[in-house]
Structure 1
Amino acid sequence: MYDIQEVDYPMRPRERLRTLGEKYLSDQELLAILLRTGTARSSVLELSGQILRHFETLENFRRASIEELMQISGIGESKAVEIRAMIELGKRIQTTERKRYGQVKGAQQFAKTLIDEMSDFDQEHLVAVYLDGKNKIIKKRTIFVGTVNSASANPCEILHFAVKTLAAGILIAHNHPSGDPKPSEADVVFTERMENACDYIGINLIDHIIVGHQRYFSFQESGLMF
């Protein structure tokens, strides 16, 4: 359950932010600033508290649809749309900050970007990241949407773009909508096929990363790649 502490501050949220900085504001105060106004029955701080209690966690709030937001008294379509826009913009800012280096420096570093991008997907997405000799990103491509299996996950399609972009290495990644990044038998078989195919044409398979809910599994880190 989301913990909301009712505290009477001497200053309103906007004044506190200007005076103290945004880091000193509670989630409730930050949301109140974005909402701007309350309702005839509730102040904007009370309304923001109701929203946070309704969704229980910030993760649930982040995933809430426009329709789910509108179920709360005081949140009409306009406010719901503004909230969704705010959440998406924050997500893009965070992702852009991590992408700006344009280089894969390790599974843990790159997995954070993948978690931001893929953890909300309702279906499995298989992504191939094409790298140069210094592991700088040349191109990232979604290969398909569906379940990773021998029929749909064909190394030929992935390697076609590797040759086309003159990539020296490939990193592949997909998400598990269940939230558990543990590899399935199909994931292991697919990774072995990719390793063999990459070895055959002289391209380095850097890693296969599976994204779950705020977690990831790296075949390279787990010693399942050679």
Structure 2
Amino acid sequence: MNINHTFKSLLAETLRESANSYLVEKIVTHFNSPQQLLDVTEQELLNIRGIGKVKAKQIVAAIQLAKMMNVPKTEPTIIRSPRDVFEYLRWEIGYEQKEHFIVIFLSTKNHIIGKETISIGSLNSAIVHPREVYKAAIRRSACSIIVSHNHPSQICTLPSPEDIQLTKRLAEAGEIIGIELLDHVIVSGSDYTSLKERGLL
């Protein structure tokens, strides 16, 4: 069973409609993939002809339930690898339609002591200044940090020149301040890339 067929079947069950109904076909055509539907609002759904308030609420509730069921039972308290970062942030920012730049604050033994969203950018870029990143790290008394952001395109295998340049700026600022930048991990809903593993940090 292909993903499009599964998508239609799940929508049909949620809405108590036939998989080939006008409403299901309209939603599938409008959103193309399940990922595009993940952050939909009731208002966006109401703009689609044939969807009323009850149907819109059903869809949003089903999506929120699916998200909750995919969140790990316990968040990692220690970051040991880039995959830990991916698992920690995947369901928070992996499917967002705008870039979210997040800083994870760590203790001396890489225990997570907090995280903060520094910037929410456009579909193409997030504007981040090292001053804001390290101001937040100092406020949390962090010994080191890991930064991460999502690629709304869902393609994160190749860091952009801007990603690389920002990472270098943050690393240089961290050396001066005394708070090490351990990694910059780019995430999507299904994959990740570590700039440190790629030798870019």
> Alignment partner of 1:221: what SS?
coil
In 2, the alpha carbon distance for the partners of 1:61 and 1:104 equals 30
Q: Are the equivalent residues in 1 in contact too, given 2:75–2:88 (CA < 8 A)? A: no
Matches within 5 A, 1:1-226: 2-3=4-5, 28=9, 32=13, 34-35=14-15, 44=16, 46-47=17-18, 50=21, 51=24, 55=28, 57-62=33-38, 65-66=41-42, 67-68=44-45, 71=48, 75-97=51-73, 100-146=75-121, 147-148=125-126, 152-181=127-156, 182-225=158-201
In 2, the alpha carbon distance for the partners of 1:47 and 1:59 equals 22
Aligned residue pairs total: 189
Task: Provide the identity percentage.
Answer: 30
> Alignment partner of 1:117: what SS?
helix
TM-score for both structures, normalised by structure 2: 0.76
Which runs of 5 or more structure 1 residues have no equivalent in the other structure?
A: 5-25, 36-43
In 2, the alpha carbon distance for the partners of 1:186 and 1:80 equals 38
In 1, the alpha carbon distance for the partners of 2:48 and 2:36 equals 14
Which runs of 5 or more structure 2 residues have no equivalent in the other structure?
A: none
> Alignment partner of 1:3: what SS?
helix
For residues 38-71 of structure 1, give each alpha carbon's deviation from its aligned partner in whole angstroms, at most 9, with x where no partner exists: xxxxxx3x53564389526543554555444774
Q: Are the equivalent residues in 1 in contact too, given 2:35–2:95 (CA < 8 A)? A: no
For residues 133-191 of structure 1, give each alpha carbon's deviation from its aligned partner in whole angstroms, at most 9, with x where no partner exists: 2212111111112234xxx4221221112122111110101122222222221211111
Higher normalized contact order (CA 8 Å, seq sep 6+, divided by chain length): 2
Q: Per the alignment, do residues 48 and 81 of structure 1 end up closer, same or farther by CA in structure 2, a change over 3 Å counting? A: farther
Q: Are the equivalent residues in 1 in contact too, given 2:12–2:18 (CA < 8 A)? A: no
> Alignment partner of 1:193: what SS?
helix
In 1, the alpha carbon distance for the partners of 2:197 and 2:48 equals 44
Q: Are the equivalent residues in 1 in contact too, given 2:106–2:143 (CA < 8 A)? A: yes
Q: Are the equivalent residues in 1 in contact too, given 2:76–2:88 (CA < 8 A)? A: no
TM-score for both structures, normalised by structure 1: 0.69
Q: Are the equivalent residues in 2 in contact too, given 1:3–1:53 (CA < 8 A)? A: no
Give the CA deviation at 1:84. Answer: 0.6
